[in-house]
Amino acid sequence: MADTDAPTPPAGDSGHAQQQQPAAAPYRLLQLTDLHLFADPQRRLLGQNTRRTLESVLTLAQTKYWPPDGIVLTGDLVHDEEPGAYDVLRRRFDGLRIPYHCIPGNHDRLDLLVGHLDAGAASALRLVTAGAWDLLLLDSTLPAQAGGHLDEGVLAGIAEHAAAASKRPTLVFLHHHLAPMGSHWIDTMQVDNGASALAALAHHPQLRAVICGHVHQHAEQEHGGVRLLATPSTCVQFLPDSDRFALDTLTPGYRWLDLYPDGRLTTGIERTAAYPEPLVPATEGY
């Protein structure tokens, strides 16, 4: 499922198609989010073994969009705040032999994430080069809080990047959502200065999209010219437009992104055919 389509090649003056130069290959990126792993391989979240749901998503990705050039993991990687869970993730993703970068979520312990999985996650704003593109990875977490915030240093860093790299197409990744999703319970846990962040991002001339996790659902919005994309969890999904916590029946998924050297972006969502185990309805959060 792609958000934009490649252009149709033009016809030549003679009525025959002009010989086209091979299109430059895109930099292919995968986003995985809200894994909620446990150190204990048998632990479950809302009835699902989150190691099994992650494996089902990786299996799907390996049959469709593989190998990518990079992977971004956008938070809530671990649910139990145990070092062993981060060690499991490190071994699994090191074994893929694909470069990966992690952002903390509100369920993560930053010290453990940095010490056991990705030392680069210590930076509140990290610049990663992805071919002709730049990725800005933002830490939106607040200690011991479910909601998010972007501090003034991060917003200033976005402005500095906009000035210094005005010709490089850019994506921004963070855990929390910047604008309301329409679900009251999850919107109490968005970035609390999202309006300021959106205003800062609107002045970035090469910004193509802001991409988050946290909401356990696929969504697309536009605010002040800023494209906002949310990505499903690799485990359970939240019901959209629900004032109270509720699970959706949609299956785990991930986002793929093709980043073209000319600044075009194509992206879409892929979901597994089924849950590894029967979905258990839940009326309370986690």
Q: What is the phi/psi pair of residue 209, to 5°?
A: -170, 155
179 phi and psi angles, rounded to 5 deg: -130, 155
Single-letter amino acid code for the residue at 171: L
Rounded-to-integer distance, Cα 171 and Cα 232, Å: 18
Q: What is the pLDDT of residue 19?
A: 55
Average confidence (pLDDT) per 10 residues, the chain, 286 residues: 38 43 85 97 93 98 94 97 96 97 97 96 96 97 95 95 92 98 94 95 94 97 95 96 93 98 97 94 70
Sign of the CA dihedral running 64, 70, 74, 78 = positive
Q: What is the pTM of this model?
A: 0.90
Examine residue 67 and say whether the peptide bond preceding it is cis (omega within 30 degrees of 0).
yes
The angle subtended at Cα 285 by Cα 248 and Cα 190, nearest 5°, is 85
With beta carbons less than 8 A apart as the criterion, state whether 246 and 238 touch. yes
Residue 17 has a pLDDT of 46
What is the predicted pLDDT for the residue at 24?
A: 85
Burial 102-128 (b: 16+ CB within 10 A, else e): bbbbbbbbeebbbebbbeebeebbbeb
Domains of the chain: 27-271 (3.60.21.10)
